[in-house]
Structure 1
Amino acid sequence: MALTRRQVTVAALAAAPVALSATGPAQSAPRRAGTLFIAGDSTAAQKYSDAAPETGWGMALPFFLQQDLSVANHAVNGRSSKSFVDEGRLDAILRLIKPGDFLLVQFGHNDEKSEDPTRYTEPWTTYQGYLRRYIEGARAKGARPMLATPVERRRFDAQGNAVTSHGEYPAAMRALAQDERVALLDIQALSIALWQRLGVEETKRYFNWTATEQDNTHFNPPGAIAVARLVAGELLHRRVLAPRDVRRLDAEIPESWITWPSPAAV
């Protein structure tokens, strides 16, 4: 897979922040205080103390946004674009979302599970169809929808090259974003560029590898922080947010900032 110069640059920033100011095309975007809602799966979801150190990137995203833009993380483990809708979770967001808010949608990991009819979608038909429901629902409420291609798993071939795992789903989402004229955060392309740059061994520090588990899908704190940095960078690059709405793109985020509440507190 050929990587563009931008993919390599953004991937390097996510892994090892350097002194780079948040300037660029998004300077013309108006300020949009409000709430950013996340609809997604386990890679983004809030995790609790019984799952630590597993960390969803949505847990780290607030560190990169100004405090007047809050994050409402509705991502849930194991959901696809279909099951999230069928369980009424999109409706729950649409009851809360208001004009000036944002809806960030990232699905793909569980849409791929053809053995499970409650979650499976076909990339160019039902997957796009369900994603349209998120777009139309947000627009009907005066909110701004955006699509994020699914973050890549940790997979390498025998030569040490990072390889894709999501089939046609990212391409289908990119095409839909163009057709619907919504912002596309290309996290799949940026994350595989990051894993390629880090390599086979170094990426283990970013995924939920523990003494008892070798998880190549879910993140630990460094991985969640790195992916959240990619998301925040794309929000800026795609002119969803202005530079004044994004912070710390060039700063180290301490792992100690990640906390896992008790499930009993929910």
Structure 2
Amino acid sequence: MMRNILNVSLVLTFLVLVSFVGRSKKIKVYLIGDSTISIKQTKAYPETGWGMPFVNFFDEQVQIENRAQNGRSTRTFIEEKRWQSVMDSLKEGDYVFIQFGHNDEVETKRSYTPLADYEANLIRFIKDTKSRKAFPVLLTPVSRRRFDASGKVEETHPVYSEKVIAVAKAQNVPFIDLDLKSRELYQKFGPEKSRLLFNQLQPGVHPNYPAGKIDDTHFNELGAREIAQLVLQEIKNLKLGLADHIVK
């Protein structure tokens, strides 16, 4: 009788432990990219990367690891060992969201990455991620704010965005066309109201920018949240397993 009671007790203890371990294992979502995603220092506020509000939309099973850094391209992210740092901690079942292009495409920047190298670096991110049995997701670079004289939003990354899409299709991985989706958002707001999404300030309004700021690349808190919500909607549209952990 005592043996049966002990066996039942051991089974119940085992089940409780298994349940606890299952609940405690978190899915990590690594965000790699540039200043349009990254966590900002206080001195940069109200500039906000879309990865900052992104953390608030998931349940306790998801941990967002925002590894994006200002000014980085695919090449410099690798050269500075930032990618190796991600690989050192990447586990099976994790996700890596990859959004570069802003700094890769500008030939006058130290971070410039020729298109062929950009493609090779994206493929490396994908293959390395898969080697850990984790899930890569490519994103086209979020659009800058630019309208033509008629009020129609213009493309700002046509070549590098097309390369992202081509790589995603060739490697058979999910992608989010954030370039397109962000342009649709700006068009919805229009040429003037879309300024409200960006880090644009009149002189004397904010202590971090006493002379004012006109920035059509980096978001403020509203813009970052709007872009994060675009990404969330595409996660749902792609039916990624991660969508099950979005807070309803």
What TM-score comes out, normalization by structure 1 length? 0.78
The structural deviation recorded for 1:63 is 1.8
1:178 counterpart = 2:169:
yes
- What is the aligned partner in structure 2 of residue 83 from structure 1? 76
Residue 61 (structure 1) aligned to one of 36, 39, 54: 54
Alignment partner of 2:199: what SS? strand
Alignment partner of 2:217: what SS? strand
| Separation (CA, whole Å) in 2 of partners of 1:64 and 1:164 | 29
Which protein shows a greater Rg?
2
AA partner of residue 147 (structure 1): L
- What is the aligned partner in structure 2 of residue 232 from structure 1? 232
* Paired positions, count: 215
Residue 49 (structure 1) aligned to one of 42, 52, 65: 42
AA partner of residue 217 (structure 2): T
Distance 1:242 1:90, change over 3 A: closer
| Separation (CA, whole Å) in 1 of partners of 2:86 and 2:193 | 37
| Separation (CA, whole Å) in 2 of partners of 1:208 and 1:247 | 28
Q: Would you say the 8 A contact 1:33–1:100 is kept in 2?
A: no
Alignment partner of 1:120: what SS? coil
1:120 counterpart = 2:127:
no
The structural deviation recorded for 1:247 is 2.5
- What is the aligned partner in structure 2 of residue 200 from structure 1? 191
| Separation (CA, whole Å) in 2 of partners of 1:194 and 1:156 | 13
Q: Deviations over 1:49-104 (max 9, x none)?
A: 11110000000111222221110000000001111011110000000110010000
| Separation (CA, whole Å) in 2 of partners of 1:98 and 1:173 | 24
1:147 counterpart = 2:138:
yes
The farther-off stretch of 36-45 and 66-75 is 66-75
Alignment partner of 2:31: what SS? strand
Higher normalized helix content (fraction of residues): 2
The structural deviation recorded for 1:246 is 1.4
Q: Deviations over 1:155-206 (max 9, x none)?
A: 0111111101113111111010001011101111100011011101111110
Identity across the alignment (%): 35
The structural deviation recorded for 1:132 is 0.9
The structural deviation recorded for 1:120 is 1.6
- What is the aligned partner in structure 2 of residue 38 from structure 1? 31
Distance 1:241 1:232, change over 3 A: farther
Whose relative contact order is higher, 1 or 2, with alpha carbons under 8 Å and at least 6 apart? 1
Give the root-mean-square deviation of aligned CA atoms: 1.3
Residue 109 (structure 1) aligned to one of 94, 102, 108: 102
Q: Would you say the 8 A contact 1:65–1:232 is kept in 2?
A: no
- What is the aligned partner in structure 2 of residue 96 from structure 1? 89
| Separation (CA, whole Å) in 1 of partners of 2:36 and 2:152 | 22
- What is the aligned partner in structure 1 of residue 8 from structure 2? none
Distance 1:70 1:242, change over 3 A: closer
Distance 1:242 1:97, change over 3 A: closer
Alignment partner of 1:168: what SS? helix
